[in-house]
Amino acid sequence: MHDDDAWDSETAQSYDTPGSGMFAPAVLGPTVDRLAALAGNGPALEFAIGTGRVALPLLQRGIQVAGIEKSPAMIAQLRTKVDAAKLPVVLGDMATATIDGPYSLVFLVYNGLSNLLTQAEQVACFRNAARHLTPGGRFVIELWVPELPKLPPGQQAIVWRSDPGYIGLDTYDVPRQIVVSHHFRFGEGRQAHLLRTTHRFVWPAELDLMAQGAGFSLESRHADWAGSEFTAGSRSHVSVYRLSEGRPATP
């Protein structure tokens, strides 16, 4: 089960925000630095590669990169920047689709895992990462920490961001571990644009169990790409999982 409608042509064409938001140097720079260090000399595979926000800077550093992406519109936008010979991408679900490998690094950034809306699909994503990795390879996940402690008793919604022209609101279905993010964008007039995306939230401990079942062990966990300490107050985490040396890759 996926929220496919959110990643249409309209979203793909407005996804890139060069120099700001997730494309801001302060956000993107540490991400690329850390992934480049983890990839080393080996090729890297990005699940949910999107329009190439992270993959293209890695490619510019001389790292061989490939991708898996479920949205044809996002791939089409990526293809305006780089051709398939330089950055091959397979159209498909990151939980099941395969691409020729193996790789030393698989990565899934910016809350991408939460786009898989069932536990079974998220478990399958870990197994798919293991399928593409060399023994001892790494699977890196960037994911937000559920903000349930901030949810007032009897309420289902949290305003998680409020900026001029933008409000971000999350509504929670706690028993199903589902959150719907409502992104309101507006200007000076009465009109507003709403984008909704549906996610399955996951606690770090649940992720670790998924990883163990796929042959991974947790190598490190930090609050951000710069390596800040992960604490009870952290709003996100970057978790690096290492595949057992004795587990062969099966691309």
Q: What is the pLDDT of residues 197-213, one digit of tens each?
A: 999 999 999 999 999 99
Residues of the chain with pLDDT under 70: 1-21, 246-251
Pair of tokens at residue 28: 């993107």
**Domain of 113: which CATH number?**
3.40.50.150
- Same domain assignment for residues 84 and 187: no
Nearest of 110, 54, 106, 55 to residue 236 by alpha carbon = 110
pLDDT of 251 reads 45
pLDDT of 250 reads 47
Count of the separate structural domains present in the chain: 2
pLDDT of 11 reads 62
pLDDT of 3 reads 54
pLDDT of 7 reads 59
* Eight-state DSSP code of residue 118: S
- Same domain assignment for residues 155 and 142: no
Distance of alpha carbon 113 from alpha carbon 122, whole angstroms: 7
Q: Which domain does 122 fall in, by range? A: 4-146+202-243
Q: Is residue 114 helix, strand or coil?
A: helix
Residue holding tokens 């349930």? Answer: 148
For 43, 79, 153, 221, the CA distances from 29, given in Å and listed in that order, are 19, 22, 39, 19
Residues whose CB is less than 8 angstroms from the CB of residue 186 and which lie 6 or more positions away in sequence, other chains included: 165, 166, 192, 193
pLDDT of 191 reads 86
- Same domain assignment for residues 140 and 176: no
Pair of tokens at residue 135: 């023994």
Distance of alpha carbon 238 from alpha carbon 230, whole angstroms: 9
- Same domain assignment for residues 121 and 217: yes
